[in-house]
Every structure is written in structure tokens, then in C-alpha cells.
Chain A
């Protein structure tokens, strides 16, 4: 069974600084997708970034980028130029290529961006 582990329950960063959130996962599959979602206090789940396992190139979306290390089964999220609006719970998630719609989530990292 696949598992996703986020070892940092809470993190904080100063506005405009850079922060990295860690995520590791376990799977025996070769075809899968990895995601980072954020959940602000409004509780709306918002997709931050997505990575296909078959792509070696790390995904980037504006200030958000990932460091995908497939052999190490590591998928960290880097937030550059942190903004107050980045304050949220961040969830790392795994989806098997054979099970569309079934996301397996990590425990989450609560990120606070301080002014």
C-alpha cells in the first residue's frame, strides 16, 4: 500500500523568504502522480503543483517549485518570496496511475508566513 509522510507538522517563514516543505512517499508503482495542495482557513483545497513520475524535470508554478527525487521517493515543495497569503495547511498527495481520483494524503504541514 502507498503511504505519504510529511515529517514537519508546523513551519514558519518570514515574508519574502524561502521555505521548503518535505514529503516522502512509498510505492512499488512506476506510473503515478504527486501533488501539493494547500488548505487555507477557508478550508478550500487548492492545487498548488503537480508532478508526473515519468518526468525528470521538476515542476514549477510561479513561486512554487518541487524537488522530485524519484529514487529517494522524495517530493519537497519550495516556496520562494513567501507571501502572507501563503499561510495555510499544505498537503502532499500521491495518486496511482491506475486509480484516478484516489489521492493518498500526507498528514499536512501547517505553514505560517510572518510579516
Chain B
């Protein structure tokens, strides 16, 4: 299965600032997915990033708050803009990759980026 590297691993941010999270995959993938995990909660899909087109956002998430770039088939960034304490979460990048024998529709996740907004 794919190996995903995310940076930063964690960060402490000031209210009103923006932070960009990077996601690097060791193989070319068509789609990359960004998830958010709020404290004590499960994961929620923010958006799907396709190379060469605008990201597709899920209900409740907007491009102005979470702009995404997808410059090539192995890399994506997610920016959390104008942060408030409510944005304190773990942000995870994921891709579909082989696993569990047949592999279809299996998501592999990065280790996540833990953001704390003061």
C-alpha cells in the first residue's frame, strides 16, 4: 500500500493565522482526500483533491476556509485559514491504495497533523 508523509506533524498556531499542511505520497494517485478529526471525535471528510481540477468539498466545508492545492499526482496541500480555537483538530491526508488482498476502495492514511489553535 501507499506510504504517505505529512508535514507538520504538529503545530501550535495563533488565532487568525493560517497554516498549510503538506501531504506527499510515494506513488501516483488520482485522488487524494483530506479528513478532519476533532478532539475526541471520529473522522470527517473535508474534500477530495483531484490533480488538474478544483477540489470537491463536503457539506459544511468551504474553499475559502480550507483551500487545497494539487499540483501533481503525488502531492497536495491543505491550508486552514484564519484559524480559531474550533479549528484545533488532527488533519489527515489519505489515498486509495492496495491493501487487504483485493485492495479496491481501501483508504490508507497519513499519520496526521495535529493543530492546536490558541
Residues of A within 8 A of B (CB): 33, 35, 42-45, 47, 49-50, 61, 91, 95, 97, 100-103, 105-108
Contacts and interface: CB of A to CB of B under 8 A. Distances in A.
B53 interface: no
A6 to B, nearest CB: 9
A49 B100 contact: yes
B42 A100 contact: no
In the A-B complex, the 9 residue pairs with the closest CB atoms? A105-B42, A45-B109, A50-B100, A101-B33, A33-B105, A105-B43, A44-B111, A43-B112, A102-B45
Contacts of A107: 41-42
A50 B106 CA distance: 8
Given A50-B100, A61-B100, A103 B111 contact: no
B24 interface: no
Interface size class of B (residues with CB under 8 A): 20 to 34
Contacts of A49: 100
Contacts of B112: 43-45
A48 to B, nearest CB: 9
Interface stretch (B62-70, B74-82, B88-96): B88-96
B104 to A, nearest CB: 8
A33 B106 CA distance: 9
Contact of B106 (A47, A97, A102, A106): A47
B31 to A, nearest CB: 6
A101 B100 contact: no
